[in-house]
């Protein structure tokens, strides 16, 4: 029962739409402006870098806290990874937004930073490398989502692999429009997406 409660709390934490809350405070709705996403990248585009940074921090924090709560009731790697997945699903399919939400990347980072910090840090380095080389946040996010299961596999973290693969697959699915634009050459590079003050 305690584990079920933690999974529900993990989902609800993930479901808090910090990006929307922050953007509304600056008089914008990220669901109808920019890319239409409530994540940090789009909030930065429509409200400025400060708002985007706060969105990033809070979206990372909710994933991190969800896994910390899970660690208080269990040391099972599979259960901790399942809680991470619950928080990511909360962000992507928020009960507060009628089943809609963001793409889950920051919450993915926060959750797995608490669960597997070494592998997550290496995956974040992959993100920054891809961003530096190609300039697309979406492509860098996909590279990171693909890298983390590989890092866990190499480190022998078998117990967390299945929920991690599920989380990575969901991130790819949520980025389908970005993937289509990347393939078509119409995706907007981060350096060209000038935030409004």
Q: Which tokens sit at 55?
A: 């969105």
* Whole-number pLDDT of residue 196: 34
Q: Enumerate the domain spans of the chain.
A: 2-192
pLDDT tens digits, 2-56:
899 999 999 999 999 999 999 999 989 899 887 788 989 899 889 989 999 999 9
pLDDT tens digits, 150-195:
999 998 888 899 999 999 999 999 999 999 999 999 998 876 443 3
Residue 113: exposure state from Cβ atoms within 10 A (0-12, 13-18, ≥19): buried
- Mean pLDDT estimate for the chain: 92
pLDDT tens digits, 73-126:
999 999 999 999 999 999 999 999 999 999 999 999 999 999 999 999 999 999
Q: Give every CB contact of residue 6 below 8 A, 6+ residues apart in sequence.
A: 69, 70, 72, 73, 74, 83
Q: Give every CB contact of residue 165 below 8 A, 6+ residues apart in sequence.
A: 149
* Whole-number pLDDT of residue 110: 97
């Amino acid at each position: 029962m305690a584990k079920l409660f933690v999974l529900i709390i993990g989902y609800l934490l993930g479901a808090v739409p910090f990006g929307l809350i922050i953007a509304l405070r600056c008089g914008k709705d990220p669901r109808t402006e920019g890319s239409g996403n409530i994540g940090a990248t789009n909030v930065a585009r429509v409200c400025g870098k400060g708002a985007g940074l706060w969105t990033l921090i809070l979206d990372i924090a909710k994933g991190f806290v969800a896994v910390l709560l899970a660690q208080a009731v269990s040391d099972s790697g599979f259960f901790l990874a399942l809680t991470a997945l619950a928080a990511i699903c909360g962000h992507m399919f928020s009960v507060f937004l009628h089943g809609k939400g963001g793409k889950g990347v920051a919450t993915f980072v926060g959750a797995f930073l608490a669960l597997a910090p070494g592998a997550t840090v290496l995956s974040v380095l992959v993100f920054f490398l891809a961003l530096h080389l190609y300039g697309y946040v979406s492509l860098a996010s996909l590279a990171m989502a693909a890298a983390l299961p590989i890092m866990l596999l190499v480190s022998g973290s078998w117990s967390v692999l299945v929920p991690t693969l599920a989380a990575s697959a969901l991130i790819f699915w949520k980025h389908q429009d970005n993937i289509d634009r990347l393939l078509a050459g119409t995706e907007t590079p981060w350096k060209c997406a000038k935030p409004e003050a």
